[in-house]
Structures are given as structure tokens and as C-alpha cells.
């Protein structure tokens, strides 16, 4: 049975977050994710591939987050929201298989599930600014 896209996105987010919090070794994090989320090793390894793609673009993504955040300096953005934004912005700007509105909607869903109520509005505002900027450039 194929893993739903939402569950896969949660694996990617949790891997991003764990790397941001201390970069654990794959041999430690893979079994933990498999157990906690009840997913296969194959799914976690595929999610790690996405994380590596995100990290390749991370300087550009982080710069866009910093430029779009009027309320907080980049370093003051909570790690949960920062990594949700990294995933959502990667999907919006670099993954042609995911429509922009889906990337925003899914980032807001992750914020609602993994953070506070205010985080959802913050994530939406940042991603909306970046989408408007992208649209103006096109």
C-alpha cells in the first residue's frame, strides 16, 4: 500500500526538524521514525532523499524566509515553523509535481498539527509573500 502524501510530508518534516536540532545519525533516526510513524524503511529513505534536495536549496530558501518575515528575524523563528517553511517553500519553488496552492495548504496543515495556532497564520503569510514574489518575477 502506498504511503499517503500527507504522511510522507510529515516524515520529511520530522527529518528536517531533527537535523536542525542536532543532525542525528541515520542509523539512529531511521528506526525511530519507522517506529513512531509506523512507516517502512523505504519510506524513510525516500523522505531523506527529499531532505537532501531541500538542504541543497536551503541557503536560498532561508534567504527568502528572512526577507519575507516582517515580524521576526530569521534566528527568532521557531525551529518547527522554520522547517515547515523550508519544506513548503521547497515544494512551491523547486518541485514541479506539487501545485503552489497545495504546498501552502500542506504547510499550514503541518503548522496546525505540529505547532501553535499562531504558527498557521505566520506560515501562510510568509508563503503567500514568496508566492506573490515568484508570480511577479514570472
Report the candidate in 49, 113, 48, 125 with the shortest Cα–Cα distance to residue 89: 125
Provide the pLDDT for residue 96: 93
Q: Are 119 and 78 in contact (CB under 8 A)?
A: yes
Could you report the average pLDDT of every consecutive run of 10 residues in the chain (138 residues)? 88 93 78 90 95 97 93 87 98 95 96 91 95 86
Q: Are 46 and 74 in contact (CB under 8 A)?
A: no
Provide the pLDDT for residue 138: 67
pTM listed for this prediction = 0.93
All domains of the chain in start order, with CATH: 5-137 (1.10.940.10)
Provide the pLDDT for residue 1: 55
Amino acid at each position: 500500500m502506498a504511503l499517503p502524501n500527507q504522511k510522507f510530508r510529515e516524515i520529511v518534516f520530522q527529518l528536517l526538524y531533527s537535523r536542525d536540532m542536532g543532525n542525528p545519525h541515520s542509523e539512529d533516526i531511521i528506526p525511530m521514525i519507522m517506529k513512531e510513524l509506523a512507516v517502512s524503511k523505504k519510506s524513510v529513505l525516500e523522505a531523506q532523499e527529499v531532505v537532501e534536495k531541500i538542504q541543497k536549496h536551503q541557503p536560498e530558501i532561508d534567504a527568502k524566509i528572512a526577507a519575507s518575515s516582517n515580524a521576526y528575524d530569521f534566528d527568532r523563528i521557531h525551529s518547527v515553523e522554520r522547517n515547515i517553511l523550508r519544506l513548503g517553500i521547497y515544494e512551491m519553488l523547486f518541485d514541479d509535481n506539487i501545485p503552489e496552492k497545495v504546498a501552502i495548504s500542506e504547510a499550514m496543515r503541518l503548522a496546525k498539527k505540529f505547532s501553535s495556532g499562531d504558527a498557521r497564520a505566520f506560515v501562510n503569510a510568509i508563503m503567500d509573500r514568496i508566492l506573490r514574489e515568484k508570480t511577479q518575477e514570472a
